[in-house]
Structure 1
């Protein structure tokens, strides 16, 4: 019954098993190329202004969903793969999008450089430069700043000029610590950001850092950050890692989804409460203290 109800079908000779998040980034471009013929039926019903430019290929490599608008001077580069733009998404000038890339419904792309291999979920606001990254829905990177080889969860807000590193100065392999083991993740490795994370203006995130659920970042992030943590280590604060109050995290979530005309549910609150308890030991191991950060 599930197969009969499927909207799209494709035979997959071998299903890859993904163990680590950087593997999703590595496979993303090829998956967009493979899925494009299935999800892009025709050219779509959106509008490409006559002064926008398709470079490196033809209109068949671009899908513009119903209600979507691509403004004048926007460049769509399909020389390396197709570009999918979902329904009601607006691409403002001066933006350059390189394929293969997927942009979901109800997004704003605001003067950005969307490099190859990007997947942007629905209802996102994205500007600046983004390369080979995955953004889940309802996340914002509206302002200038670079994100490369990054995995970003839902309801993340990235402050102006926040930038992550995805390459070591030595051009050597990046090693990430998971459950006490050092694992080699490759040469181009960005950051991995959980749902509901917020970064302040000018935040800098070192290569391969992992940021836990609902944490707040300030300054230069040189270490992994546990869930429900306020990171202020580089600012000379009294306490470099401070526990974010559960009620504060829940209130911030309610305010952020309210900006998208959504309401917080009892299940949302239960999720926050459960995750707070599940990650308590993680914060204790990392030396996160309770209280308020003071400069």
Structure 2
């Protein structure tokens, strides 16, 4: 049996985050959605996604296949219902296909609409990621579930006695280091990944996860429901934010109620607002409608897609969306929607020259010995550049 994580319409409503990845490759909690299913079911996984991503995120069809909606996060009820499915049977909730078991012949003609017609109804609630803000909204719940999954039956490595750990919900993987830091686990677990480090004077309140090889710099203040993915460096003040990986927010400044993709950089003393002065609900730019969408949230900060950057002292207004490859800088508040591959700020904005963007990206990725900026990556970004041209106009 092989797991195949498929994209449905959520990949459109999750833009710009899904221009560069399948839905199931999004990180929420400690793991990506695909990694969660793989660990729960003890199986390998592949992706059924849009054409420009399929070479990087390969599809592998076996004799027996379990297709799972990439936007759906596993829980005990879903796992039980999916394990009961027989070949050809599908599971749905309202108009959302959750999962289906298919042989190799039927897998090659996978059709969501056709499968929904005969699918078995599932009545219980579950976490499904439909919009970018759903990631930070549900991060606390998913972080707690992932912590239990990853640490069950295991013992944390010891860390220095210069630290203060409040409560018992703390786990450090091999190679994790911390000195003179405070970890409060009374509100949720704290997880330190392999070879991660927390520097002196940091104050961290769970739920919190730090990915492998990531660093929390001196004096950082990090609040609950925050995930820092692998190979990141962070500092300053962070609250209920999810940083996927290979990104830096290394200096003072505030990041809250936000999602930040991979290969991003936030300049020193940059801040985002997460609450409007009139306390009204926040709207976010919506790619399918090319308009602003009501989130129903009073607290909503910054959504920043892969390869985006901002200069020092950047001020992001409440509910700002920054697209793939954008470069934001200058005085004043930039617009609440900063299109993909745009360059500038509040005073002016122009198209980021794609060849210059590639030069910068190659330099950034080359700093990681285990990651390569190959032709597949370049083609993905070139396709995204073409797909987003209309938004820059």
Secondary structure, counterpart of 1:37 in structure 2 = helix
Map of 1:50 onto structure 2: 161
Question: How many residue pairs align between the two structures?
Answer: 273
Normalising by structure 1, we get a TM-score of 0.88
- Work out whether residues 225 and 231 of structure 1, in 8 Å CA contact, stay in contact via their aligned partners in 2: no
Shift in Å, 1:149: 0.4
Give the number of the structure with larger relative contact order, counting CA–CA contacts within 8 Å between residues 6 or more apart.
2
How many angstroms apart in 2 are the aligned matches of 1:214 and 1:183? 23
Map of 1:265 onto structure 2: 374
Map of 1:184 onto structure 2: 294
Map of 1:255 onto structure 2: 363
Shift in Å, 1:282: 1.0
Map of 2:28 onto structure 1: none
Secondary structure, counterpart of 2:293 in structure 1 = strand
How many angstroms apart in 1 are the aligned matches of 2:177 and 2:160? 8
Map of 2:237 onto structure 1: 129
- Work out whether residues 43 and 62 of structure 1, in 8 Å CA contact, stay in contact via their aligned partners in 2: no
2:203 equivalent to 1:102 = no
Matches within 5 A, 1:44-123: 44-45=156-157, 47-55=158-166, 57-58=167-168, 61-71=169-179, 73-111=180-218, 112-123=220-231
Secondary structure, counterpart of 2:252 in structure 1 = coil
Could you say if the C-alpha distance between residues 246 and 138 of structure 1 is closer, same or farther in structure 2, counting changes exceeding 3 Å? same
Map of 1:217 onto structure 2: 328
- Where structure 1 has 5 or more consecutive residues not aligned to the other structure, the ranges are 235-239, 285-295
Shift in Å, 1:273: 1.0
Map of 2:18 onto structure 1: none
Secondary structure, counterpart of 1:12 in structure 2 = helix
**Which segment is superposed worse, 168-177 or 206-215?**
168-177
RMSD: 1.7
How many angstroms apart in 2 are the aligned matches of 1:31 and 1:275? 29
Runs of 4+ in 1 over 6 A off after TM superposition: none
Map of 2:304 onto structure 1: 193
- Where structure 2 has 5 or more consecutive residues not aligned to the other structure, the ranges are 4-36, 42-74, 79-124
How many angstroms apart in 2 are the aligned matches of 1:192 and 1:21? 7
How many angstroms apart in 2 are the aligned matches of 1:228 and 1:116? 32
Secondary structure, counterpart of 2:337 in structure 1 = coil
